[in-house]
């Protein structure tokens, strides 16, 4: 499924990142969980992950953490919540990309959101008013990663929910889709991308085929 080298997960303490840690640890894939709050240490260690402490806005600390991890790939699920004044969407990716290049990590999977780039018009105006500032930061992060020379995959999931895995996640390059997907299904998709050469250097939407509310969902394969 995934190379034997550890996978470093930034944003491992909650949401999609935590779901990725659960899947990888259950599959006996070495995981380095990157966090800055020790409150999450026990849960992550109980899953089997190695815990590394780092504020990803700090260049030196981020590079040191990546070097110490021995990771062969980075999964970044960092994102600012609506209303937060500390935006990590771009600066976190910037520091991780810089650190990856310095330490020789070549594979980078970034989770952003539908509404980024050419999919902006798929976002209903009331929602765009709430998340527009975060999308602008994510746009910058996507552009930085594409230009980095790393082997990237950018995933733009629809609106996230806390449902159990459904197996209904669909990769798409359609730009007009508005819909939802569970965090667990996004995590499953990330793990698939780690082992799928066809996902490299691509930007893909990700939706539950039964939760599409608008647009045309045309599936693409990554194997």
Please give the positions annotated as active site. Answer: 113
> Could you give phi then psi for residue 90, rounded to 5 degrees?
-95, -50
Cβ atoms of 180 and 159 closer than 8 Å? yes
What tokens does 202 get? Answer: 């691509």
3-state secondary structure of 169: strand
Residue 161 pairs in a beta bridge with: 182
* Burial class of 39 by CB neighbour count within 10 A (0 to 12, 13 to 18, 19+): exposed
Helical pair 15-26 and 183-194, crossing angle rounded to 10 deg: 50
């Amino acid at each position: 499924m995934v190379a034997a080298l550890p996978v470093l997960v930034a944003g491992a303490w909650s949401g999609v990142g935590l779901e990725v840690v659960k899947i990888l640890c259950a599959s006996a894939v070495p995981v380095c969980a990157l966090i800055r709050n020790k409150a999450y240490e026990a849960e992550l260690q109980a899953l089997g992950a190695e815990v590394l402490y780092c504020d990803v806005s700090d260049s030196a600390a981020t590079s040191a953490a990546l070097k110490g991890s021995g990771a062969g790939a980075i999964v970044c699920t960092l994102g600012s919540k609506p209303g937060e004044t500390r935006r990590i969407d771009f600066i976190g990716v910037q520091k991780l990309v810089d650190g990856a290049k310095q330490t020789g990590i070549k594979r980078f999977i970034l989770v952003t959101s539908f509404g980024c780039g050419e999919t902006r018009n798929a976002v209903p105006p009331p929602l765009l008013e709430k998340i527009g500032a975060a999308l602008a930061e994510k746009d910058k992060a996507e552009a930085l990663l594409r230009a980095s020379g790393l082997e990237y995959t950018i995933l733009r999931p629809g609106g996230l929910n806390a449902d159990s895995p459904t197996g209904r996640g669909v990769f798409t390059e359609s730009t007009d889709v508005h819909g939802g997907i569970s965090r667990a299904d996004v995590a499953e998709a990330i793990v698939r991308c780690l082992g799928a050469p066809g996902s490299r250097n691509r930007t893909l939407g990700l939706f539950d085929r039964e939760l599409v509310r608008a647009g045309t969902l045309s599936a693409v394969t990554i194997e």
